Structure 1
């Protein structure tokens, strides 16, 4: 006895021919959002869906997340080997920077869930508390090479075949850009921690002379979250602008950067709250044992890699339609 196939044509007709759906399509074809450069909303959405389906968005995100995970600790080793030498100089003028490690720990815990933040910070603290000049050697150069693999994988996820918008990079140039971006992202992270410390010191100084009380705590939290938001925006904007091999670079102020920043920060905070607030780490630990932290880090990286690629696809959709329209007009 053969099974009857479910007829989905009625559902398709309902959703495609419904007056509300038709009205939304008409609006999307005739209107554009700010930052879309006049490209209709409908064209952008269709392009993103098509590219996500053709290039398998989740496979790309998984590949990027795995590569970043493997390069995470080499990146930390590369960047924070130099931090103790820099802090020794800066603390002469800014004594508040002696709290660098504690502030860094608090900022890591804001976005990394469970004990993942503790493990990452423990590795950072071991490096920053005991600077090793010997690391600045051949091993340090190897760490630089391996730390850039994650960035290289992300750059490959940003590659497209639209020759009017995207160009090809040679192997050596691609590797150099990946190394440069890795260092740049690290500098942004360190600078943000320094800004948070200085901001807290300034707010504390204001409170000392004005006795604002509870309002001071509000200002400190506002400084930290504003710095975190700016850090996400600048890093993502830099990745899109210099990581993608485009003929005309993406702007820092773009819909893709804005979308990715909001989603990435919100997802990181929500995921961290889910793991810590509902004691999910203990649940994972019961099932997976000592590798629970690795699984949580991988999930966090996968979510953020997926968001980065979605934001990039949004920028790519706008750029492709914008540049193709200009070619047709010429």
Structure 2
């Protein structure tokens, strides 16, 4: 019974603060910022990958990013992203690529703002420090994406070479799709943990953020599946929005994903507040005990 009451208070605190503190408006801000940052980020990542000699980056990056999305949403976006990424760019340091690097960091800034609100934090760091951190996040994400994409390209090639000498390896070819999805999930979890730990103001430990990260990850999976089922069986965005259907569907999907992300932060903050209140209450008798004995 006590656990039920605690869970009710924590969930009520999290959802109540999400509603009072413009959580839905912040979710729309994060969704639009993410969509607008996606193409600049991939353009910069592709330019850097080509500069480093990873010419096969584009296709692997598209798979890595969109394999965790519902197919109905991912297919039109992945096609356009692939068209953008296969455009030849002669120099890493062109003005366009540098601007893409900067605009991609706006998505990180949107995540920071939403998490600061969720954790009830007032930002006290300088604007320059925050922007540099956002750019560092983009750069780190780019290197991770390039390295993982290279591994996804290299593993099948190595497996084919090994299979010429050990035929039993050929039976494992079908597992590479599952491996790609598993790697995408690991990258996603790592990104969630990094965002909750370092983006918002204040200090939190791994134990403080794991409940919200787990909720976000699980609800993203179930929410994506439910949204894909809805699109396949009930919704007909094409008849309503015509050529804009793919963009509208992507925005609605990202809006749902962003709301879940923010609620994950709200859950962590509510649990931390509940623990702090319990510690205060448990300290009261010990602090008053000397007075009773006097």
- TM category, shorter: 0.7 to 0.9
User: Equivalent of 2:102, from 137, 145, 149?
Assistant: 145
Equivalent positions of 1:192-203 (< 5 A) are 192-203=148-159
79-88 vs 230-239, which moves further: 79-88
1:234 to 190, 196, 202: 190
Partner of 2:263: 310
Kindly indicate whether residue 250 of structure 2 is the aligned counterpart of residue 259 of structure 1.
Answer: no
> When you count helix as a share of all residues, which structure comes out higher?
2
State the match for 1:116 in structure 2: 77
Distance 1:107 1:71, change over 3 A: closer
In structure 2, the residue matched to 1:293 is 246
| TM superposition score normalised by structure 1 | 0.72
Of 224, 237, 244, 1:284 maps to 237
State how far apart, in whole Å, the 1-side matches of 2:143 and 2:109 are.
Answer: 18
Deviation readout 1:181-212 (Å, 9 max, x if unpaired): 22223333333322323343454455444434
The 1:87/1:311 distance shift into structure 2, 3 A limit, reads farther
Match of 1:70 among 32, 36, 42: 36
**Are 2:112 and 1:155 aligned?**
yes
Distance 2:164 2:219 in 1: 37
Q: How far apart are the structure 2 equivalents of 1:279 and 1:124?
A: 33
1:109-168 Cα offsets, whole Å, 9 max, x none, are 422523111112221222xxx2321x51444433333221121111111114977x7763
1:234 Cα deviation after fit: 0.7
Kept in 1: contact 2:196–2:209 (CA 8 A)? no
Deviations 1:21-54 (A, max 9, x none): xxxx54423xxxxxxxxxx433321221221221
Please say which of residues 68-77 and 210-219 is displaced more in the overlay.
210-219
- The residue that corresponds to 2:4 in the other structure is 28
TM-score, with normalisation over the residues of structure 2? 0.79
Deviations 1:227-250 (A, max 9, x none): 111011011111111112123355
Cα–Cα, structure 1 residues 205 and 244, in superposed 2: closer, same or farther, change >3 Å?
Answer: farther
Alpha-carbon distance change, 169 to 251 in structure 1, aligned in 2, over 3 angstroms: farther
In the TM superposition, what whole-angstrom CA distance separates every residue of 1:42-89 from its partner, at most 9, and x where no partner exists?
A: 33212212212211322210111112222222222222221101135x
Query: Structure 1 residues 213, 77: closer, same or farther in 2, change over 3 A?
Result: closer
Cα distance between partner residues in 2 of 1:125 and 1:269: 30
Are 2:89 and 1:131 equivalent residues in the alignment? yes
Q: Which residue of 2 aligns with 1:34?
A: none
Structure 1 vs Structure 2 CA RMSD: 3.2
The one of 189, 192, 199 aligned to 2:145: 189
Q: Structure 2, unaligned stretches of length 5 or more?
A: 288-294
1:84 to 21, 37, 50: 50
Gapped regions of structure 1 (runs ≥ 5): 1-24, 30-39, 89-97
Taking CA–CA contacts closer than 8 Å with sequence separation of 6 or more, which of the two structures ends up with the larger relative contact order? 2
Partner of 1:105: 62
Q: Residue 47 of structure 1 contacts residue 317 of structure 1 at CA under 8 Å; is this kept in 2?
A: yes
| Alpha-carbon separation, structure 1, partners of 2:256 and 2:119 | 27
